[in-house]
Amino acid sequence: MEHACCCEGKRTDERLEKVKESIRNFKDMKGALIPVLHKVQNLYGYLPENVLQVVSEELDVPMTEIYGVASFYSFFSLEPKGEYVIRVCLGTACYIKGAQELLDRLSKELNVQVQKTTEDGKFTLDATRCLGACGLAPVMMIGEKVYGRVTSNDISKILEEYR
């Protein structure tokens, strides 16, 4: 058990070193914050506060500015994402064809609120504005896989593929 803990610490150190390297690469460029935050997001899957503190100190950018940027861009997440991210389109075409019902059904079946992650870390449920597949409305995605013309009766079967 101690060995796993040691390796996790080493993995964290390796990721933090990569973040610091990214900071060094972008530090003197205007707009360095966004590419550095992208690096953090890619390495950790979200923006951990302790890493944002390092970014703040190294780039000499206040935490308030970092949180402002992180919350403005939907790509960034301040919370860990699940193994599978489920995105339900709530754009006009999907909404009219029942997307809210799908979102409600997913929330109930997974026992998770929208924009949150299940307790087991398996699923994150997100509502989005448009997935670009209006002709298949209502649409949802799990990871990169698109599901079109989904009904609430399809939800259990679709989730079984990922459980």
The 10s digit of each residue's pLDDT in 36-64 is 999 999 999 899 999 999 999 999 999 99
pTM for the structure as a whole: 0.71
Question: What fold does the segment set 84-160 form as a domain?
Answer: Glutaredoxin (3.40.30)
pLDDT band, residue 12 (cuts 50/70/90)? low
CA angle 161, 102, 110 (to 5 degrees): 55
pLDDT at 8: 54
- Express each pLDDT in 31-42 by its tens digit: 999 999 999 999
| 23: number of Cβ within 10 Å | 20
Residues 54/20, Cβ–Cβ less than 8 Å: yes
What does the alpha-carbon distance between residue 93 and residue 103 come to, in Å, rounded to a whole number?
A: 15
Arithmetic mean of pLDDT, 73-85: 89
| 140: number of Cβ within 10 Å | 28
Residues 18/50, Cβ–Cβ less than 8 Å: no
Residue 150 one-letter amino acid: V
Query: Structural domain boundaries of the chain?
Result: 2-72, 84-160
pLDDT band, residue 111 (cuts 50/70/90)? very high
